[in-house]
Each structure stands twice: as structure tokens, then as C-alpha cells.
């Protein structure tokens, strides 16, 4: 194993591979920074070039490097302008943007990048530690278990609703209903599409996220006629943010573990890791009432998770050739084209390739975080730009990001609809996060329930994995209630 | 003096005009030959990333531009769902005659069309076929621990898993249940190849079919799986010890409408993965695309990668042949169609008659 580890390290540190890794990190970071242009789109564009490369190590360095860092730089737009740069940085908006409004953008950003760095270390460590039992781990989760995990995700709606649980629940239900729009993937039956080809693919998550969070904040800034930061000084937040991560080291480790866990489950989707970690933080940390008001823990948790999940997604990919998501599916296609065959050999005779993936995840994260840290102070100053400068800039990001959903004019109409919805929700105190979560999880929930019932009938409820997971879901929902009750009784 | 100057001016003007006219005429003549210079072709794919259709699309997207004048860029857009219905409907509604959107579909799209139903808003017979890649007939895999239950009607049913309940290989399962007494139950709805591969490994499904020799060999190497039969007229190279489904049927092979219906269901298998342009695409553009597709198939790098992905049994079919096969595969008699509908209902597979 040591020999394979060394071979893998030397492979990615070769001049050619290292150079390509840096190129991948640069592209991945830029893509993460720009809303709407996701990692999968960029990977798809690069695939034809990569498939002609001869050196497998170079392919690993480039593609894994690109994929690993997409969620790091996306924190810039999430924190500074309340626009999610990628699907993995949606939860970061809730506290990150609130911190930016308080003039603590630098603190939020440095906390985010430091958490990303640690998440980016912990993920590969967990991947390495799980090598001996990768295969039984992946095989343990079938459709019933995935369904319960989506329920777990939706149970977070209550956590994300703050002081408006009923509104939060209704918002979550609306989100699930929105997820049903389009042609049913099993049968092709049209649902709520009204014969419109545009709606056959469903409503794009990018448009929902940008509409709910991006535009309402612009309207708020324009109506207040102020800059993003309500204070005028930048403060010494940069070092404070780094210290915050180490101050809350246990939260960082736990959130990273949540990220790996979500990442390794093929079929759960990478856009839930940050939400899971965020909700976990609210449920387990002291003074949960501060979340959503600019609590740095609300930045640390999702950012640690969205980096560690990348390593997690390679577990089923390497063990079985079963990609953890769209990005790894594309990377897998490139791997096969250059002769890297995922499967049992990746844990035996081709272990050096597995180690190359692990080393790339670590090194690429370091490079990306270092680059992002260098831009924290200059970019944070955008928080002090007057509204007449920053609002048009944000709107450009939002519109370009929204248009990239399908490159159709109708994208902008849908963006408008969700912008109005987001504005009305914000104005009347309806939490928006549950609606977004409903959209993210709705389709998967329906799919796994269908498969569970069709395959097992009601027997799926008696599977040991399902029972264990239901108990965990119940515990995660009841634990905060028990904590509150105990605190009230103590008072 | 003035008169002489005017004459010079007139001569120069005439020469400039003639030069412009010649340039415009040349440009017009050249524009009769299509070119993709500076353009981007979108290849729409009817499946999610990672499966056979997607892999074929990406291979084509990578190598086809090399043989097209102007060497365009290509992008691949996945649009999975409904066994190809979503992508087919979208392609029919949005495809233009500029040759900038091509569609990579699989036999499922043809099967769905033949089955019919209100949600089918496309007609593959109207597409302009550019070419197809076939990987050999499907092979039916079964978990070794489920094999003993296959012929035991008293045992727990063996579960067959599929994406949309319409795949051509599924016909082996349904006809095996109907005519060989196989103890089967059918579950559909899995999103794609990778989810089914995982489900088979987990034991959530016991039987699954695929044309990919690569996937089959991976499973066989893992151990714990057998290959029941294959859907070919002759045994595929590399699987010479696996009986064809017809050999398995033996003297229980049905005749008349039943067998016609079987051929109608499995016919699209011969086409496998095919690339098409919209109906309104001009003939000269179609001819150019077909020529490029055929030349692409001789490209050494293409051949190497295709073999890496699909194994040795893959082959290319030209556009006109693919067009003819599509026509044949989608021409099904009313009786055969009715027979298939009845059979699908019996085994709880989707028919085209679901209520909207």
C-alpha cells in the first residue's frame, strides 16, 4: 500500500500532472465563482480533449482537480451577494450573507475557505480509511434506505423554518410540488407542464435558487439605498474567520463527516450535503437561535461538508464504477477512455490510481484555498460599494446565471416568477430555504418511494437499515425538542 | 482635363464594382456547400450520463467534428426520462433545419413510439438518420443465488429490474415468463444503467439485461452472476457458451402473432444507439453528416475507444441503412401491437394507455 501511495503521489506531482492540476483548479474555481455554470457543464466541455490524453495520472490530476474545488470559490457570491455560486453553497447564504451585511464578509469568507480546506482533508482521509470496506458500505444502501434519507432531508425543513414552522412546512410542500413539474422520468407522463416543451424537463434548480435568494436581496438593497454592509469598516475579520474554524473544530469535523456520508451515497445528489450539514449544526450546537442571523457556524458547517463530499462521491465510483453523481459519471467516462477501469482492481493492482485521486483531492484543495484566500480582502470590499454599483452587478450575475439553465428566453421568465415569489416570501416572513430543499429532494423522494414499494411492497419498512435510519431521523428531530424542554425546565 | 479625370474616376469605380461583384458571387457559390466553421453542434442524449447511450454520444461528439467541414465544436446535453420520451418530444418540438442539433437515441425511443400513447409526440420515422452504433445483442444476467428460484413457481419470484419497462431485452424476460414458465416479477423506474448495476449487485433486482459486453464481463469477474441467454440470431463472440433466447425456447417457441410481436419488440435492438438530425434538415447537410459519421468509424482512435467502452462486438451502420431499420422496427401490425399490450398488462409493465 505504501508503494502505491508513493506512486500515486509521484504521478500527480510530475510537472505535467501538477501543471494540469493547477489548470483544473483555476477552471474549477472560476466555474464555482460564476453562478449557473456548474462543474458538470465544464467537465462535459473538457471531456473530448481529456479523452485523447495518454497519461492517466494527468487525467486524474486535471479532472479530479477541477471537480474537487468547484464549491470553494462559490462561497464568494453566496456570502457577498446572496447568489449561490454552485448547488453546494446554497445553505452558506443564510448566515454568510447576513455576516456580510454586518461588515463581516472577510470573516465569513476566510472561515468558509478554512472550513473548505479542512473538509477537503477529512474527505480523502475518510476515503482512505474506508478502502478496506468500500464495497459492503456501498451495497448496504438500497432504494428503501435512500427514501428514508430523503425523509431525513425533509425533516430538516422544521429546522430551517426558524420561528415559523408552519410556514416552513408549507414552503417545503410547495417545493416538493414544484419538483413534480415536467415529464415523469419513469413513464414520460406529463405533469403540470400544460403542453409546454420548456417545462418537460422540470423547473431548473438554478432558477429557483437564483430567484428565491438573489433578486429579493437586490430589491432590498435598492429600496434601502445602501451598500451590502451596513457598517463602513472592513474590520479584522480575516484572521478571526480562520480562528473561528479552529474554535469550532468539532463542528468542522462532524460537518465534514456528514459531507463524506452524503457524497458516498450514489443517488442522493450532491446539492444536499450543505443542507444536511447546516441542519445538523442547528440541531446539535448551542444557541441554535443565532443561526440565520449571521452566525459563523452557519458558514463553517456547509462549507466543510460541500468539500468533503467530493471525496465521498469517489467511493462508489472507484469501488464499482458507479458514479456518485453527474460529475463523477463524466469523470468515469474519461477514466475508462484512458484505461483506468473502476472496480475491484482499483483496490488491488491499480491502487496507485486510487491514491492519485486521493492526493489530487488534498493538493487541489490546498491550491484552491490559497488562491481564494489571496482574494478575500480585495473582493470583500465589494460589500461597501454603493447600491447603484452593486445592484446592477448582482443582477448581471443572476441573469447570466439564470440564462445558462437552458439558454432560453423562457429561463428569464421563470427567473422572474421565482424572484417575485422570493420577494413576497421574504417580505411576509416565509422561510425560503425549506422551499429550495423541497425542490432539491422532491424528485428523489418520489423515485425511491416508488422503487421501494414496487420492489418490496410494505416489507421495505421492516428492513434493518430502514429501521435504523428511521430511528436516527426521529432522534435528529426530537433531540432539539428535548434540549429545549430540558433548558426550559432548568430555567 | 476635367473630362479625362472623370473618365479615370468612372473606370476605377467600374473596376471596384466588378471586384466586389466577383467576390460576392464567389462567396455565394461557396456558401452552397455547407460549412460548420465557427459553429457548435449540440448533441442531445436521451439518457443520463454514464450509460451506453451517453457514452456513444460523447464518442460521436468527440470524433464527428474531425470529419465535418469547418470542424465545429460540440456539446452534449443529457435529457433522460420516460425511456427517451422526454428527449424525443423535445427534439421534435425544438429541432431546426440548420444541422446544429443532433439527437442520440437508443432502441427504447423506438420501442416507446411503437407502444404508443398520448405522451408520444414524436415520430422517429421522420428523423434523418445519420448513422448508428450497435454493440451486439443483449445478454440477460441473473444472480446465482436467484437462479434456483427461476423455474420454481412456489419460490419467491425472481425480480427483473428495468428503467422504463420497454427495453428490448425485457422481451426475453416476458416471453420467458409466458412460454418457459419463468417465475418472474418486473420492476421498472430505475433512472439508468448505473442504478440498475448497483441494484443487481445489492440483490434489489435479480435479473438485468444489457448489450454492453464490458459491463457483463465486470459482473462475471466479480463472481456471483450467470448469463442466462442472449438476444441474437447467433451467439456473440466472447459468449459462445451462452445460448440464444431462441435456443432456450426450443420447441416452446411461439408462432404466429406472438412471435411477430416478439420480433416487433426486439427489432430496435438491431439499431441500438443511433444519431439523427431533425426532419427538416436539408439533404445536402444530411449527406455531409452521414459521410462524416461513416469516415469517423474508420478513425483509429475512435475504434480504440469504442472497443474500450463496448468490447469487440460493436459495429457501425450507415445512415441510409439505419433509416431503413428504423422504418422496419416501427412498422408493427395492429394484431402484434395488441398482443404486446395484453402481455405487458399481464406482467404489470407500462402500456401506452396510462391515464394522463
Q: Can you name the residues that pair with B105 across neighbouring β-strands?
A: B274
Q: What is the pLDDT of residue B227?
A: 95
- CATH topology for the B40-135+270-329 domain: D-Maltodextrin-Binding Protein; domain 2 (3.40.190)
Q: Can you name the residues that pair with A191 across neighbouring β-strands?
A: A182
User: Above 70 in pLDDT, residue B26?
Assistant: no
Q: Average of pLDDT values for B280-288?
A: 93
Q: Average of pLDDT values for B225-244?
A: 90
Range B139-267 classified under CATH 3.90.870.30: no
- Name the nearest CA neighbour of B269 among B165, B168, B173, B337: B168
Helix (H, G, I), strand (E, B) or coil at B85: helix
Helix (H, G, I), strand (E, B) or coil at B224: coil
CB A364 within 8 A of CB A116: no
Strands B225-230 and A190-191, bridge-based pairing: unpaired
Q: Do domains B40-135+270-329 and B139-267 have the same CATH topology?
A: yes
Q: Do B76 and A321 touch (CB under 8 A)?
A: no
> pTM of the prediction?
0.79
d(CA A270, CA A308): 11
Q: Do B201 and A44 touch (CB under 8 A)?
A: no
Q: What is the pLDDT of residue B124?
A: 94
Q: Whose grid coordinates read 466553421?
A: B37
pLDDT band at residue B1, thresholds of 50, 70 and 90? low
A323 Cβ under 8 Å from any chain B Cβ: yes
A326 Cβ under 8 Å from any chain B Cβ: yes
**Contacting residues of A for B308, CB less than 8 Å apart:** 336-337, 339
Q: Average of pLDDT values for A283-300?
A: 88
Q: Is the model more confident about A468 or about A187?
A: A468
CB A95 within 8 A of CB A433: no
User: Above 70 in pLDDT, residue B98?
Assistant: yes
Domain boundaries, chain B: 40-135+270-329, 139-267
Q: Is the model more confident about B319 or about A126?
A: B319
d(CA A378, CA A381): 6
Q: Average of pLDDT values for A145-165?
A: 78
CB B101 within 8 A of CB B42: yes
CA distances from B81 to A103, B61, B112, B126, B276 (A): 46, 21, 12, 21, 19
Q: What is the pLDDT of residue A155?
A: 78
CA distances from B74 to A38, A45, B39, B78 (A): 18, 8, 9, 13
Dihedral angle computed from the Cα positions of residues A75, A78, A83 and A84, in that order, rounded to the nearest 10 degrees: 50
Q: Do B89 and A200 touch (CB under 8 A)?
A: yes
CB A261 within 8 A of CB A424: no
Q: Could you tell me which chain B residue has the CA closest to the CA of A325? A: B49
Per residue in A45-84, pLDDT tens?
777 778 777 788 888 899 988 888 888 888 888 898 888 8
- DSSP annotation of B280 reads T
CB A205 within 8 A of CB A38: no
Per residue in A242-282, pLDDT tens?
999 999 999 999 999 888 888 877 666 667 888 889 988 98
User: Above 50 in pLDDT, residue B29?
Assistant: no
Per residue in B134-178, pLDDT tens?
888 899 999 999 999 999 999 999 999 998 888 889 999 999 999
User: Above 60 in pLDDT, residue A361?
Assistant: yes
Q: What is the pLDDT of residue B25?
A: 47
Residue B298: other Cβ atoms inside 10 A = 10
User: Above 60 in pLDDT, residue B216?
Assistant: yes
User: Above 60 in pLDDT, residue B233?
Assistant: yes
User: Above 50 in pLDDT, residue A487?
Assistant: yes
- Name the nearest CA neighbour of A300 among A312, A284, A314: A284
Dihedral angle computed from the Cα positions of residues A394, A400, A401 and A406, in that order, rounded to the nearest 10 degrees: 160
**Contacting residues of B for A330, CB less than 8 Å apart:** 49-50
Interface of B with A in 183-202 (CB under 8 A): 187-191, 194-195, 197-199, 201-202
**Contacting residues of B for A339, CB less than 8 Å apart:** 308
d(CA B3, CA B19): 24
Q: What is the pLDDT of residue B356?
A: 34
Residue B129: other Cβ atoms inside 10 A = 27
Phi, psi dihedral angles at B318 (to 5 degrees): -70, 165
Least confident range from A3-7, A116-120, B187-191, B317-321: namely: A3-7
d(CA B352, CA A156): 39
d(CA A216, CA A142): 40
Q: Is the model more confident about A128 or about B62?
A: B62
d(CA A117, CA A363): 10
d(CA B303, CA B310): 10
CB A275 within 8 A of CB A90: yes
Q: What is the pLDDT of residue A345?
A: 72
User: Above 70 in pLDDT, residue B206?
Assistant: yes
A455 Cβ under 8 Å from any chain B Cβ: yes
Q: Is the model more confident about A409 or about B187?
A: B187
Dihedral angle computed from the Cα positions of residues B141, B145, B150 and B151, in that order, rounded to the nearest 10 degrees: 140
**How many interchain CB pairs under 8 A, A with B?**
137
CB B95 within 8 A of CB B122: no
Q: What is the pLDDT of residue B171?
A: 94
pLDDT band at residue B354, thresholds of 50, 70 and 90? very low
Q: Is the model more confident about B185 or about A28?
A: B185
d(CA B148, CA B33): 63
Amino acid at each position: 500500500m505504501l508503494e502505491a501511495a508513493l506512486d500515486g503521489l509521484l504521478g500527480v506531482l510530475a510537472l505535467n500532472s501538477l501543471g494540469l492540476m493547477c489548470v483544473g483548479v483555476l477552471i474549477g474555481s472560476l466555474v464555482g465563482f460564476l453562478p449557473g455554470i456548474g462543474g458538470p457543464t465544464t467537465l462535459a466541455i473538457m471531456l473530448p480533449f481529456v479523452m485523447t490524453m495518454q497519461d492517466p495520472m494527468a487525467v486524474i490530476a486535471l479532472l479530479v482537480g477541477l471537480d474537487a474545488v468547484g464549491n470553494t470559490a462559490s462561497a464568494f457570491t453566496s456570502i457577498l451577494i446572496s447568489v449561490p455560486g454552485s448547488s453546494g453553497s446554497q445553505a452558506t447564504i443564510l448566515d454568510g450573507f447576513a455576516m456580510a451585511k454586518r461588515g463581516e464578509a472577510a470573516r465569513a469568507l476566510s472561515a468558509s475557505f478554512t472550513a473548505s480546506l479542512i473538509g477537503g482533508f477529512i474527505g480523502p482521509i475518510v476515503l482512505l480509511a474506508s478502502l478496506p470496506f468500500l464495497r459492503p458500505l456501498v451495497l448496504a444502501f438500497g432504494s428503501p434506505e435512500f427514501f428514508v434519507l430523503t425523509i431525513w432531508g425533509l425533516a430538516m425543513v422544521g429546522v430551517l423554518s426558524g420561528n415559523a414552522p408552519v410556514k416552513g412546512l408549507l414552503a417545503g410542500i410547495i417545493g416538493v410540488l414544484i419538483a413534480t413539474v415536467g415529464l415523469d422520468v419513469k413513464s414520460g407522463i406529463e405533469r403540470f407542464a400544460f403542453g409546454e416543451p420548456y417545462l418537460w424537463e422540470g423547473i431548473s434548480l438554478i432558477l429557483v435558487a437564483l430567484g428565491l435568494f438573489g433578486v429579493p436581496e437586490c430589491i432590498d438593497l435598492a429600496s434601502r439605498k445602501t451598500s451590502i454592509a451596513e457598517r463602513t469598516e472592513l474590520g479584522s475579520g480575516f484572521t478571526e474567520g480562520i480562528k473561528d474554524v479552529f474554535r469550532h473544530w468539532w463542528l468542522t469535523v462532524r460537518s465534514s463527516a456528514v459531507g463524506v456520508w452524503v457524497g458516498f451515497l450514489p443517488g442522493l445528489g450532491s446539492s444536499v450535503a450543505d443542507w444536511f450539514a447546516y441542519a445538523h449544526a442547528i440541531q446539535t450546537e448551542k444557541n441554535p437561535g443565532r443561526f440565520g442571523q449571521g452566525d459563523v457556524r452557519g458558514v463553517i458547517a456547509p462549507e466543510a461538508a460541500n468539500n468533503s463530499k467530493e471525496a465521498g462521491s469517489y467511493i462508489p465510483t472507484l469501488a464499482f464504477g458507479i458514479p456518485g453523481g453527474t460529475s463523477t459519471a463524466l469523470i468515469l467516462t474519461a477514466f475508462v477512455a484512458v484505461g483506468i477501469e473502476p472496480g475491484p482492481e482499483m483496490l488491488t493492482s491499480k491502487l496507485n490510481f486510487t491514491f492519485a485521486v486521493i492526493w489530487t483531492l488534498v493538493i487541489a484543495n490546498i491550491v484552491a484555498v490559497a488562491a481564494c484566500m489571496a482574494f478575500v480582502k480585495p473582493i470583500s470590499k465589494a460589500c461597501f460599494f454603493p447600491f447603484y454599483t452593486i445592484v446592477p452587478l448582482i443582477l448581471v450575475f443572476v441573469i447570466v446565471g439564470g440564462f445558462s439553465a437552458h439558454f432560453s428566453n423562457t429561463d428569464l421568465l421563470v427567473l422572474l416568477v421565482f424572484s417575485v415569489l422570493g420577494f413576497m416570501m421574504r417580505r411576509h416572513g416565509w422561510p425560503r430555504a425549506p422551499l429550495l430543499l423541497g425542490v432539491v429532494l422532491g424528485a428523489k423522494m418520489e423515485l425511491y418511494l416508488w422503487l421501494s414499494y414496487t420492489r418490496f411492497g410494505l416489507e421495505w419498512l421492516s428492513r434493518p437499515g430502514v429501521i435504523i435510519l428511521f430511528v436516527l431521523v426521529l432522534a435528529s428531530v426530537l433531540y432539539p425538542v428535548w434540549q429545549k424542554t430540558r433548558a426550559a425546565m432548568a430555567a | 482635363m476635367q473630362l479625362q479625370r472623370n473618365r479615370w474616376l468612372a473606370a476605377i469605380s467600374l473596376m471596384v464594382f466588378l471586384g466586389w461583384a466577383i467576390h460576392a458571387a464567389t462567396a455565394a457559390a461557396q456558401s452552397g456547400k455547407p460549412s460548420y466553421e465557427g459553429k457548435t453542434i449540440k448533441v442531445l442524449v436521451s439518457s443520463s450520463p454514464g450509460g451506453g447511450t451517453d457514452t456513444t454520444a460523447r464518442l460521436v461528439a468527440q470524433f464527428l467534428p474531425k470529419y465535418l467541414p469547418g470542424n465545429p465544436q460540440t456539446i452534449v446535453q443529457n435529457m433522460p426520462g420516460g425511456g427517451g420520451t422526454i428527449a424525443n418530444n423535445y427534439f421534435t418540438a425544438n429541432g431546426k433545419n440548420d444541422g446544429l442539433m443532433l439527437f442520440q437515441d437508443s432502441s427504447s425511443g423506438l420501442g416507446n413510439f411503437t407502444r404508443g400513447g398520448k405522451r408520444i409526440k414524436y415520430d422517429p420515422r421522420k428523423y434523418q438518420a445519420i448513422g448508428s452504433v450497435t454493440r451486439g445483442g443483449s445478454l440477460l444476467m441473473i444472480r446465482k443465488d436467484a437462479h434456483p428460484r427461476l423455474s420454481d413457481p412456489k419460490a419467491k419470484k425472481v425480480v427483473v429490474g428495468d428503467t422504463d419497462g420497454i427495453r428490448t431485452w425485457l422481451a426475453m424476460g416476458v416471453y420467458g415468463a409466458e412460454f418457459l414458465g419463468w417465475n418472474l416479477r418486473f420492476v421498472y423506474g430505475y433512472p439508468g444503467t448505473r442504478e440498475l448495476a448497483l441494484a443487481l449487485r445489492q440483490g434489489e433486482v435479480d435479473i438485468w439485461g444489457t448489450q454492453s459486453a464490458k459491463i457483463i464481463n465486470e459482473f462475471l469477474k466479480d463472481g456471483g452472476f450467470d448469463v442466462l441467454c442472449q438476444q441474437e440470431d447467433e451467439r456473440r463472440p466472447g459468449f459462445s457458451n451462452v445460448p440464444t433466447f431462441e435456443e432456450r425456447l426450443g420447441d416452446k417457441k411461439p408462432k404466429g402473432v406472438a412471435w411477430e410481436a416478439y420480433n416487433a419488440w426486439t427489432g430496435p435492438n438491431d439499431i441500438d444507439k443511433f444519431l439523427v438530425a431533425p426532419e427538416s434538415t436539408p439533404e445536402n447537410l444530411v449527406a455531409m453528416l452521414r459521410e462524416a459519421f461513416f469516415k469517423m468509424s474508420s478513425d483509429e482512435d475512435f475504434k480504440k475507444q469504442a472497443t474500450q467502452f463496448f468490447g469487440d462486438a460493436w459495429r457501425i451502420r450507415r445512415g441510409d441503412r439505419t433509416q431503413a431499420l428504423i422504418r422496419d422496427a416501427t412498422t408493427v401490425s395492429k394484431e402484434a401491437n395488441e398482443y404486446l399490450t395484453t402481455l405487458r398488462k399481464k406482467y404489470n409493465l407500462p402500456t401506452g394507455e396510462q391515464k394522463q
